[in-house]
């Protein structure tokens, strides 16, 4: 396999973007990524676009073609990738593999979703398509309710409290305040979370990621190409993916996401690092309980100690492992197909020292963790300042 680097990143502001359509968002993110990389569209050899459900949200399928068309990239190959909320992470992985395997040298990986053109009920039904339609959504389950079941079980087994869940949201809103691209730039308190409207008990409004429009894009290059274009590449040291049962009830655990553990183990092994080596991580906090499970499954804390870690202020901006410096899905927003690419963009900026007010000092190793559905698809990437972390 050849070495691959990220050499540019761009994204739109996430939020309710009613003035723009999907194509305008794609162009905004894509052009910013090309400008960041210092390359022209005519140099790009392939495009991979993460999108979960353009057809059900806005009646638009064929998103690969749409993105290539409006970005002026025709006639290069352009491919849409779908893996529910992990669509972006998987598009990034496909772009990585296409270069590592020798097919291309300069590729764009993007992600996009336009979710706010429909009412919340319709968005909930569409998102429910990522669960098991016959055994979960048909019987009334929604994503908030599926994650609420995991939260209940985690509270039962490990004593995790609603206050600890709230602390995840408070931290991520603090980080979102420093991110000009974030949907919510608003400080909240534990009391605000506890007093917010119940959505699926014990999860309340402020435990949930929102419904969001947005796009993000990154430029990937082979080692040879990257060294020609920039002195400041960010290397992809590992890419790993794992799958699990579609439905929660068939899972081996309700308090962890086993595919996260498997993908993370593979990623750490490939990169030659331990969890404690990570300086900055963008993890999949679609609900506050999801971030607690993520920090446990990624090995940042022992199983069951995630909740307590938030009381101790672990994972805040500038701590040993800063988690969700972008504001995470909770505050930055969660345009499902774009999230995985936004995570890579945030880690890229942190590792390059370009993260503005939310920059953490001396970030060298970053991790992204993108989950599809309630854990049926997980994609983990390790990125760093070093082409080979074993020789750092
Ligand atoms: N966090 C913080 N504020 C939120 C919010 C969230 N998740 N969702 C909505 N708000 C705010 C809105 O900005 C709005 O504020 P305003 O009155 O100051 O303008 C207010 O709450 C009401 O917004 P509205 O759009 O009417 O909320 P809603 O009740 O229709 O939707 C949820 C709220 C939680 C149901 C919806 O955001 C949701 O379904 N989230 C989960 C998405 C999901 O499942 N994603 C996939 C994960 S796997």
Question: Which residue's alpha carbon is nearest to atom 37 within ligand 1?
Answer: 210
pLDDT of residue 132: 98
pLDDT tens-place string over residues 350-388: 999 999 999 999 999 999 999 999 999 999 999 999 999
- Mean pLDDT within 147-153: 98
**Structure token digits, residue 251:** 């899972």
User: What CATH code is carried by the domain that includes residue 199?
Assistant: 3.40.47.10
The pick from 197, 211, 327 for probing ligand 1's pocket by mutation, whose C-beta has the most ligand atoms within 8 angstroms, reads 211
Q: What percent of the chain has pLDDT over 70?
A: 100
pLDDT at residue number 32 = 98
Q: Are 43 and 139 part of one and the same domain?
A: no
Ligand 1 atom closest to the Cα of residue 16 is 13
Q: Which residue, of 229, 261, 283, is where some domain finishes?
A: 229
367 and 292 both lie in a single domain: yes
* Ligand 1 proximal residues by C-beta, below 6 Å: 85, 120, 124, 127, 143-144, 184, 199, 205-206, 208-211, 286, 334
**Residue minimizing CA distance to atom 3 of ligand 1:** 206
> Does 93 reside within a domain?
yes
| Domain assignment of residue 187, yes or no | yes
pTM more than 0.95: yes
Domain around 27: 4-119+211-229
Helix (H, G, I), strand (E, B) or coil at 4: strand
Give the active site residues.
Answer: 85, 334
Residues 225 and 184 in one domain: no
Among 199, 229, 259, which residue terminates a domain?
229
> Distance, CA 209 to ligand 1 centroid (Å)?
7
Index of the ligand 1 atom closest to the CA of residue 124: 39
Residues 109 and 165 in one domain: no
Answer yes or no: do 48 and 170 share one domain.
Answer: no
Residue 392 is predicted with a pLDDT of 85
Mind listing the pLDDT tens digit for each residue in 314-346?
Answer: 999 999 999 999 999 999 999 999 999 999 999
- Name the maximum alpha-carbon separation found in the chain: 56
Same domain, 187 and 328: yes
Distances (CA, A) of 61 to 57, 66, 154, 193, 214: 10, 9, 38, 37, 17
- What atom in ligand 1 is closest to the CA of residue 130? 48
Residues 182 and 218 in one domain: no
Q: In terms of domains, do 290 and 351 share one?
A: yes
Asked if residue 197 has pLDDT above 90, the reply is: yes
Q: Is the domain of 317 the same as that of 175?
A: yes
Structure tokens at 283: 């993890």
- Residue 63: is its pLDDT beyond 90? yes
Residue 277 in this model has a pLDDT that exceeds 90: yes
- Output the DSSP codes for 21-82: -HHHHHHHHHHHHHHHHT--GGG--EEEEE-S-HHHHHS---HHHHHHHHTT-TTS-EEEE-
Residue owning the nearest CA to atom 29 of ligand 1? 120
Is 330 found in the same domain as 261? yes
Candidate of 210, 285, 287 to mutate for ligand 1, largest count of ligand atoms within 8 Å of Cβ = 210
Ligand 1: atom nearest CA of 120 is: 30
Scan for tokens 């968005």, then name that residue: 123
Q: Is residue 124 part of a domain?
A: no
Task: Say if 128 falls within a structural domain.
Answer: no
Number of domains in the chain: 2
The pLDDT tens digits for 215-270 are 999 999 999 999 999 999 999 999 999 999 999 999 999 999 999 999 999 999 99
Which ligand 1 atom lies nearest to the CA of residue 211?
37
Angle at 113 between CA 112 and CA 118, to 5 degrees: 165
**Residue 392 maps to a domain:** no
How does the average pLDDT of the chain come out, rounded? 98
Residue 106 lies in a domain: yes
Reduced to 3 states (helix: H, G, I; strand: E, B; else coil), residue 383 is strand
302, 347: one domain? yes
How many angstroms is it from 104 CA to the middle of ligand 1?
40
CA 243–ligand 1 middle distance (angstroms) = 28
Do 278 and 330 belong to one domain?
yes
Final residue of a structural domain among 180, 202, 229: 229
Give 208 Cα–ligand 1 centroid separation in angstroms. Answer: 7
E strand spans, 51-179: 78-81, 106-114
Tell me, in angstroms, the distance from the centre of ligand 1 to residue 210's CA: 5
For 115-143, the pLDDT digits (tens) are: 999 999 999 999 999 999 999 999 999 99
Residue 127 covered by a domain: no
Q: Which of 85, 203, 208, 328 to mutate to test the pocket of ligand 1 (most atoms within 8 A of CB)?
A: 208
- Position 29 confidence tier, pLDDT thresholds 50, 70, 90: very high
- Residue 126 domain-assigned (yes or no): no
């Amino acid at each position: 396999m050849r070495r691959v680097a990220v050499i540019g990143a761009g994204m739109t502001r996430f939020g309710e973007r009613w003035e723009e359509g999907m194509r305008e968002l794609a162009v905004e993110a894509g052009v910013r990524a090309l400008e960041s990389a210092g390359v022209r569209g005519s140099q790009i050899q392939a495009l991979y676009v993460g999108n979960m459900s353009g057809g059900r949200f806005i009646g638009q399928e064929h998103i690969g073609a749409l993105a290539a068309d409006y970005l002026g990239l025709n006639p290069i190959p352009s491919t849409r990738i779908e893996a529910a909320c992990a669509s972006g992470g998987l598009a990034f992985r496909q772009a990585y593999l296409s270069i590592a395997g020798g097919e291309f040298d300069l590729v764009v990986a993007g992600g996009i979703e336009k979710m706010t053109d429909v009412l919340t009920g319709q968005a909930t039904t569409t998102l429910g398509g990522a669960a098991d339609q016959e055994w979960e959504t048909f019987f009334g389950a929604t994503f908030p309710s599926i994650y609420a079941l995991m939260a209940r079980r985690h509270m039962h087994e490990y004593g995790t409290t609603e206050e600890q869940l709230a602390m995840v949201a408070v931290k991520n809103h603090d980080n979102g305040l420093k991110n000009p691209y974030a949907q919510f730039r608003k400080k909240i308190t534990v009391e605000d979370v506890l007093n917010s409207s119940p959505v699926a008990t014990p999860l309340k409004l402020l435990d949930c990621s929102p419904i969001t429009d947005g796009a993000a894009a990154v430029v990937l290059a082979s080692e040879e190409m990257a060294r020609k274009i920039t002195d400041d590449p960010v290397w992809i040291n590992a890419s790993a993916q794992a799958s699990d049962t579609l439905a929660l009830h068939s899972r081996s655990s309700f308090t962890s996401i086993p595919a996260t553990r498997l993908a993370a183990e593979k990623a750490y092994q490939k990169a030659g690092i331990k969890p404690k080596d990570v300086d900055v991580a963008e993890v999949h906090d679609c609900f506050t309980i999801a971030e607690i499970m993520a920090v446990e499954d990624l090995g940042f804390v022992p199983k069951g100690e995630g909740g307590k870690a938030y009381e101790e202020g672990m994972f805040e901006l500038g701590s040993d492992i800063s988690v969700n410096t972008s504001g995470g899905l909770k505050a930055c927003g969660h345009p499902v197909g774009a999230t995985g690419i936004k995570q890579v963009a945030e880690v890229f900026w942190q590792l390059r020292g370009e993260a503005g007010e939310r920059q953490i000092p001396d970030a060298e190793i970053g991790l992204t963790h993108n989950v599809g559905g309630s854990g049926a698809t997980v994609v983990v990437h390790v990125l760093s300042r070093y082409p080979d972390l074993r020789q750092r």
